[in-house]
Amino acid sequence: MFTDQEIRDIRTFIQSVNENLIPIDSQEAVVKDGNIWCADWWNIECCKCLIYGEDAYRLDPLPRVLKNNPLFEHNYHVTTAGYKLKMFELLREHKGFADTLLVCECGRGIDILLANMVQSWKKIYCYDHSGESIKQVIKYFKDRLGYPVEAVCSSSWSYPENHLNPKGYAGIDYKMVILANVTKVEPHHREQIKANSNLLGIFNGELLK
């Protein structure tokens, strides 16, 4: 699936997340009975599943914080990594459709990383409701890697009208690829994307039709 260089790039991303963990009280997290689960750890585990594949990932020794942690489950990471693998394949299939990318609820930016493996983008828009995640996306992808990223803190229900076009996705008159995996994109926004021939939506690893 991935080349040796792409695997190195994913490993470098994992290392960056590990070295720049967001405080638990500033990211999505669950704390219960002395156990913790958080978005940063999800990013790391999802990337590991991308690299190893499902079978090897399930056999890979867990880090100490996840051993016997009831808040962690392999199946969720296998499912979400599967969405991203299918997304990656669709991006390769439709390479060249557009030179502008939008990543919805980008988190730490795994989708940005994968999309840039397929092609270079003239502009990468992204948003997330977590301001701390957006800071890390800018730090890693814009400042460190030099990607043309425009990242803002926003929710899915307000992003298109407030940051792209007053008419939302319906008003976009240039080609754009939109990526969304496990997001809260509103149904009416999905309908706008489907109805606009300038837009190619890939949601949970499937073309939005």
Span 127-169, pLDDT tens digits: 999 999 999 999 999 999 999 999 999 999 999 999 999 999 9
> What is the pLDDT, as a whole number, of residue 139?
98
Tokens 């939008």 correspond to what residue?
102
Mean of the per-residue pLDDT values for the chain? 95
Q: For residues 6-10, give the mean pLDDT.
A: 98
Give yes or no for residue 100 having a pLDDT over 90: yes
> What is the pLDDT, as a whole number, of residue 20?
97
Alpha carbon of residue 113 to chain centroid: 8
6 and 14 Cβ atoms separated by less than 8 Å: no
> What is the pLDDT, as a whole number, of residue 74?
86
CA angle 129, 134, 135 (to 5 degrees): 140
List the structure tokens of 52.
Answer: 């190893």
Q: For residues 10-34, give the mean pLDDT.
A: 93
Q: For residues 67-89, give the mean pLDDT.
A: 91
List the structure tokens of 129.
Answer: 């409701």
List domains and CATH numbers for the chain.
4-80 (no CATH), 85-207 (3.40.50.150)
Reported pTM: 0.95
Give yes or no for residue 1 having a pLDDT over 90: no
Least confident span in 50-59, 61-70, 160-169: 61-70
Q: Which residue has the higher pLDDT, 62 or 19?
A: 19
Q: Which residue has the higher pLDDT, 169 or 61?
A: 169
124 and 103 Cβ atoms separated by less than 8 Å: yes
